Structures are given as structure tokens and as C-alpha cells.
Structure 1
Amino acid sequence: MTKLLILSVSAGNGHVRAAQALAATAQSLAPPCTAVHIDAMAHVAAGFRKVYTDWYIQLVNRAPELWSYLHQRTDVTPHHAPSQRLRRGIERLSTGALVREIRREKPDAVICTHFLPAELLMRERNRGRIDYPVWLQITDYDLHNMWLVPGMTGYLAATEEVAFRLRARGIPAERIHVTGIPVMPAFSEPDAPALARDACVAGLGLDPSRPVLLMVSGGAGVGDLPSMVERVLGMGGPDGKPNDFQVIAVAGRNAEAHGRLEALARRHPGRVAAIGFTNEMHRMMAASDLVVTKPGGLTVSECLALGKPMLLISPIPGQEEHNAGFLMEEGAAWLAYDAIGLDYKVARLMADAAKLASMATRSRTLGKPQAARSVLHHVLGTPA
């Protein structure tokens, strides 16, 4: 039986979710495949893990201008530059346990959803310590220099443009495959009866005859999620009349925000579904007519898989800004730069069913709900 090792890095959630999607999909393959998912950060030095994950999150939240500068600088810094060699040297000193764990697994093939483990395995291959294929799954809708790890068996790209950029920056064309970004099996059948819009709305205690707005995050410039929900509930439509749409608000593991959302739901009976952590995000999206979200690669891939129009907020400088640009130029999303823009664009879009329908059509056209199967087809030679 083929053993597939999937390596992610928990710097943000997207890389981990892509790995989980691949592992979950691998379980349904014929012939069977054993898939093991390892978060690299579970096998590195504690200090390195804190810098690599906590520091990144704090930087993008507290100093986005600095992160933007670093993102741009590293995009034009060659792999052979002294700063890059120093970075890789520090990573090697901090990831010995991870390399040993990978060796213990003895996989037949590896897929990396982050460039860190790909770089480590590139060195192992160059020293003749491994001979199995290593693939790299790019998890955004643009290409950054850090993804250009030389010597991979294959590079799995979200779009034709990402593939074009890989070729333009020296990656051999025969190693590049356009697959999309893997999403969980729950998102892979958008027309399944379980994802019928009206049934999902009713299952949340809301009215299927009224429009539904899904709000899944707050951020810089637009405020925290409960404040966002309270604002949009109270605003009028473009004609000044009270709006009648309903809100699904997902607070995740933020217990304080969830409590405030529950209080809002009590003050606005029948208009708010306050959700904490959930494994049913596919149902939340299926119930919605518009999704308000940050443009993370995995979140927007899930929206595209289900054909949902998006109003994007608070993009992280660099990768999320580029994701937003791709979605806007393709007609699947709008972008709100600040709280005022959020209010205005929510009001406009929720009052314009034809515009939402047009954006939904573009979203579904772009979506790749079977991306995980496409990836596994290339890596394992299974039916597409």
C-alpha cells in the first residue's frame, strides 16, 4: 500500500487545512492509500516555533507595513543570497527532530503545503539521503520567491497564471501542474442535496426566503466581528429603508466574540445565527448569499468551490492582497478597504440580487472543488 506523507506548517491555518484536505481525500481513493499528515511545527525547537508562528501572526496584525516590506524584499532576494543561506542554516539547526520524524515515516511520496519542509527535503535529496518524490502545493493565487524551491518532483499551482509565473521564474514546464488549492471533501460536491441553500438556512433557524450574509472575520480597519455584525444589522439599504437580511456570524475559537454575538442574536431574534468553532463551515457557506471574509488562500478556495460571491476585508499585505486582486479582476469579489466601505458595499450588494448572481457565476467558474483529487492524481497516478 502506498504511503503518502503530507507536511504542513501552522503559520496561519491555510497550509494546515490544505494538508488536511489532501489527507481526507486520500482515504477515499481506490486503490487505497495511507496518508499521514504532520505539522512541521510540532517537531521543531520551541524558540524557533514561537518565532516562526507567533511572530508572523503578531507582525501581520500589528505592523502590516513592515510585513509588506519584508514580503517584497524576500520576493526579489535570490535563493543563493547570503541572507537566504543564513535563514536556511538557522532552519536546519532548529528542525533536526522534524527531519528524523520524516525519516521514521519512510514515505513513498511527500507533498509539502509550505516551503519550509520542502527546502529541508531538497537538502536531504541533494545529499543522497532520500530518493522518493517530493511535491510542493502552492496555497495562494500568486507566486512568491519562497515557493521557488528548486528540485521538486512537481509544483501544484492554483491557476494558469501561477503556472505561468513558475515557468517565467525558471521552473521546468513539465514539472508544473494546475490543480487548484485542495479543499476538504465537504466542499467537493457543491450540488449535493446536503448543501442545498434553503435547507442549510432553515437548519440554522433562519428564514430561507430572506437574503443571508455570512461574516467570518474582522480585522484592521473594519473592527472586530461582533462590532461589524452590529453595524450591518442597524444600517439601511441604498434607498434608506431598513434592510431585511440575516447574518451568520462565525467567531471560531474566540469565546469572547462568540458571547457578544449570542447577545446580539437575543436582541435581534430571527436575524442572527451566532456560531463558535464549527466543522460545518461548508453548510454556513452553502446557506449564504454573500461571504464577508479575509482573502486567505484556503478560505477563498472554499468559497469558489461552492460558487459564493465574496466581499473581502483586511487582506494581509502581500499574499492576501494578491489573492484579492485575482478575485476582483475575475469578477468574483469586491473589496472593502475600511469600515465605511464595508457598510456601503454590504448594503449595495445585498440589495442587488442580479449582481450577486453574476458574481456567484464567476465564482463557480473559477472554483476547483476536486482540486485535492487532481493533486493526488498527479502525485500517486490515481484516476483524476
Structure 2
Amino acid sequence: MKILFLPLFKMPSGHHRVADALIDMMENRCNDIKCKKVDLLSYSNKSFEKMISKLYLKWIHFVPKTYDWSYKHFAYTRTHKHCSFIGFEKYFLHHLKKLLNEEKPDLVVCTHGFPSLLMSRLKEQGMVNIPVINAYTDFFMNDIWGRQGIDFHLVPNQQVKKHMVEKYHMDEKFILVTGIPVHETFLKEEDRKSRNNDPIKTILIAGGSSGLGDIVGLIKNTNPNSAFRYMILCGKNHRLLESLNKLNLPHVTALPYIQSREEMNQLYNKADAIVTKPGGVTISEALCKHLPIFVHSALPGQELINLEFLTKQNLVYKINMKESLDKQLAFLLNNEVEQIKWQKAIQRFFKDQEIPTLDMVYAILRANVMDGESINEYGSDIPVYSGVMSKLKKYVKKLPISNNV
């Protein structure tokens, strides 16, 4: 069985992390499965992908408010309409069809809305008959994601499922609340109990792989003699790493980019709380670790919308940059009433999940007995597996409803 994963862009992101998590879950459990991850932008035109990546990073850095406005007016309008890419669709549909011809996948998993939209277009037009799954990477669904041409939707929460059913009249049987997939390295039950009872609390501070956010300003006024020590993930932001080292604060440890999941998992296990941005995957990892979450900043667009959801659900605490970080952390970590309130919010969040991601992976693998045949479309053989989704749907119906992560 061959599964094609479609994120977008080459730069590190939640779209790649979700794809990698699912790939490892599948390949670790089945020797006969082959997974491949392809960024459609760089596959179509490497120079174009580099240009768009640079423009995006400069846009959110220099004029974030205009990006936020554009995102909410074109990609998250809360209407019934798809976000339109008429000028680009024809070009990328051509390259997507070429990719499908080359790879001949039995199943496609989209972890970004744009390739999902294109796959949906091809299926709705009857140009391909390959099963497609959407694996969402934020706590909401934007207008870019494909809908009617997609066989299964792995959604982050009940609110998204309700939105899809009520706004788009989609069949709820094919919308599964799995949460945002995280790598199984972070799902080990015993790891959650490994934190020590040290009176000095360890706080993990993260700004994403690029080390974004005013972390120097956040940490500068902390008290070296307080009950907190800080481990700061600088990502690939070498300037941030140097700035923190120059401060020479005894209670602060600045760490460069960490690629190893095992090392990241150990940091999660040492931490008593995390201060971060509201990226879908990082927040989901912290929730799986039952770490109290404080948000220091949010990128425009997706992260601001994530923050709105998380705040309403009482899952995160927003940091006031004008007030002492030490005091804000102490308010939750030393307050039994607030701790109980937060724990109840966590329990509600996981209770809403219908099928854990690992169970969904097993469902996909057990649907591996397929009725396969080939048809000739636009000059090449495209595999058609009409049996895989019907078998998957039948198996999913038999899965026990689980509230475990």
C-alpha cells in the first residue's frame, strides 16, 4: 500500500509535523506500507516555492495586521464559499495530476488546505478516484480545505465537526474528531508522571522553529531568585540565542534548534509549564503532556484564530507582556483553584475526541485489502481502489469510542 502525504512549503511547519507523525505511526506498524511526503509547491516550481516562503515570512514579520486582515477576508470568511485560487488552480492541478501519475498512490492524506482543495477538485470532476483524507493542523477549518471530494476528515474538535455539518451540510459519518495528530513519542503515558517534586519549577519557553516573539523582553525582567527556572527554545533564531546568552541570567538556559523528538520529549517531561505561541501542533503536544500553557504572542491569521478558540475553552492563559512573568506563572501554578479549573478544561477537551489518532491509523492499515484496477486517464495509468474507503468506513464504525489520548 502506498500513501502520499501532501503538506505545503519546504520550511518546517505543523503541516509537516502532522504528516511525519502519521507516517511514522503507519510505517512502524506495517512493513508493507510505503509513505511519501511531497510539497506540491516545490514539486511544481522550486524557485516559486522559495519566493512564496520568503514573501510569507516577511509579510507576517513586517506588516502582520495586513496579513491577518487578508487571511480573515479570503481564507476564513465563515461563509459557504471556497477560497478561490482560479489564477493558480489550473497550473497546480496540472502538476498534481502529473504527481499522481508518477506515484500512483492508494491513498492521499492532505495536511494543508491547498493540496486538499486541488484533490477535491479532481475527485468532484471525476478525474481521479483515489481515497483522500484531510488531517487538520489547526483548531479550526479555513475556507481553503477541500470538502465534498474528500472521503474522511480528521478534525481537531467537536466545534469544527458541527461547523462542517451545519454550514457545509457534510455527512457527519465521515468527520472524525481525532484531535490534531501528534507524534507518538509524545503520547507515552508513563512520561507524564516523570516530573519531580522540585520546589523550583521548570518553565519551557518556545517561539516556534524560528524563535519568534519578544522572548528577550519577556525574560529580561524575571527574578533570578524566584521559584522558576527557564529553558528557552530559540529554534533557528541565532540572534535570539546570542541575545539570551549575553544577558547571562543564572536561571535561564537558552537552547538552539532541537530536531530530535526524543530530546524534545525529555524537555516536555522536565517542564512544569510551557510558554509558547498558539500553533496547533505545539499546543496539542503540550495538551497531551498535560502541561499548563501560557501564550506570549500569536502570529497573524491562523494562530490568532487558534488563540480565540483555546481561550474560550480555558485551555491556555494569555501572558500580559507589561506584567511580571513570574507573578503570572505563580498565579496558576501555586493556585489550587485555578489548577482544578484548568484540569477540568483539559478533561472536557479530550472527552470530545471520538477516535484517537492511533486507532484511526489502525483503521487505515486494516483497510489495506483493496479491490484494485487501473484505468487510463490523461495518458497514464491512475490506480482506482474503490474498496479501500468502504472497508475503512465499515471498520471505523466498529471502533470503540475512546476518551484516551
TM-score by length of 1: 0.82
- The equivalent of 1:237 in structure 2 is none
- The equivalent of 1:202 in structure 2 is none
Deviation at 1:347, TM superposition (A): 4.6
Alignment of 1:245-324 (within 5 A): 245-264=228-247, 266-268=248-250, 271-278=251-258, 279=260, 280-324=263-307
When structure 1 is superposed on structure 2, of 89-98 and 158-167 the one drifting more is 89-98
Alignment of 1:163-242 (within 5 A): 163-170=161-168, 171-192=170-191, 196-198=194-196, 208-217=198-207, 224-233=214-223, 242=225
The 8 Å contact of residues 219 and 325 in structure 2, kept in 1 or not, is answered as no
- The equivalent of 1:108 in structure 2 is 106
In structure 1, give the amino acid aligned to 2:77.
V
The 8 Å contact of residues 245 and 254 in structure 2, kept in 1 or not, is answered as yes
Distance change in 2, residues 1:246/1:183 (3 Å): same
Q: 1:135 aligns with which of 128, 133, 136?
A: 133
Deviation at 1:294, TM superposition (A): 0.3
Distance change in 2, residues 1:353/1:227 (3 Å): farther
Matched, 1:90 2:91: no
Deviation at 1:12, TM superposition (A): 6.1
Matches of 2:294 and 2:182 in 1, distance apart? 20
Distance change in 2, residues 1:77/1:103 (3 Å): farther
Deviation at 1:140, TM superposition (A): 1.2
Distance change in 2, residues 1:186/1:276 (3 Å): same
Distance change in 2, residues 1:190/1:330 (3 Å): farther
The 8 Å contact of residues 115 and 149 in structure 1, kept in 2 or not, is answered as no
Deviations 1:192-251 (A, max 9, x none): 48x7123xxxxxxxx9442111101289xx9532342232245xxxxxxx5121111111
Matched, 1:336 2:319: yes
Alignment of 1:12-51 (within 5 A): 13-30=13-30, 32-50=32-50
In structure 1, give the amino acid aligned to 2:284.
S
The 8 Å contact of residues 138 and 157 in structure 1, kept in 2 or not, is answered as yes
Matched, 1:376 2:375: no
Matches of 2:121 and 2:301 in 1, distance apart? 27
Alignment of 1:144-163 (within 5 A): 144-163=142-161
Alignment of 1:49-128 (within 5 A): 49-50=49-50, 52-74=52-74, 75-76=76-77, 84=84, 87-94=85-92, 96-128=94-126
Matches of 2:42 and 2:19 in 1, distance apart? 15
Q: What's the secondary structure of 2:144's corresponding residue?
A: helix
Matches of 1:375 and 1:294 in 2, distance apart? 28
In structure 1, give the amino acid aligned to 2:59.
L
The 8 Å contact of residues 210 and 246 in structure 1, kept in 2 or not, is answered as yes
Q: What's the secondary structure of 2:38's corresponding residue?
A: strand
Distance change in 2, residues 1:157/1:218 (3 Å): closer
Distance change in 2, residues 1:361/1:262 (3 Å): farther
Matches of 1:330 and 1:77 in 2, distance apart? 20
Deviation at 1:296, TM superposition (A): 0.6
Matches of 2:359 and 2:322 in 1, distance apart? 39
When structure 1 is superposed on structure 2, of 90-99 and 280-289 the one drifting more is 90-99
Q: What's the secondary structure of 1:53's corresponding residue?
A: helix
Q: What's the secondary structure of 2:221's corresponding residue?
A: helix
The alignment yields a C-alpha RMSD, in angstroms, of 3.2
Deviation at 1:277, TM superposition (A): 1.3
Distance change in 2, residues 1:173/1:94 (3 Å): closer
- The equivalent of 2:382 in structure 1 is none
Distance change in 2, residues 1:312/1:208 (3 Å): same
TM-score by length of 2: 0.78
The 8 Å contact of residues 44 and 95 in structure 2, kept in 1 or not, is answered as yes
The 8 Å contact of residues 42 and 48 in structure 2, kept in 1 or not, is answered as no
Q: What's the secondary structure of 1:186's corresponding residue?
A: helix
In structure 1, give the amino acid aligned to 2:358.
R
Q: What's the secondary structure of 1:253's corresponding residue?
A: coil
Matches of 1:169 and 1:12 in 2, distance apart? 32
Deviation at 1:18, TM superposition (A): 0.6
Q: What's the secondary structure of 1:147's corresponding residue?
A: coil
Deviation at 1:22, TM superposition (A): 0.6
Matches of 1:337 and 1:375 in 2, distance apart? 39
In structure 1, give the amino acid aligned to 2:298.
P
Deviations 1:119-163 (A, max 9, x none): 222233344442220111121112222225331111110011110
The 8 Å contact of residues 199 and 227 in structure 2, kept in 1 or not, is answered as no
The 8 Å contact of residues 229 and 249 in structure 1, kept in 2 or not, is answered as no
| Unmatched segments (≥5 aa) in structure 2 | 368-394, 400-405
| Unmatched segments (≥5 aa) in structure 1 | 199-206, 235-241
Matches of 1:140 and 1:117 in 2, distance apart? 16
Deviation at 1:323, TM superposition (A): 1.9
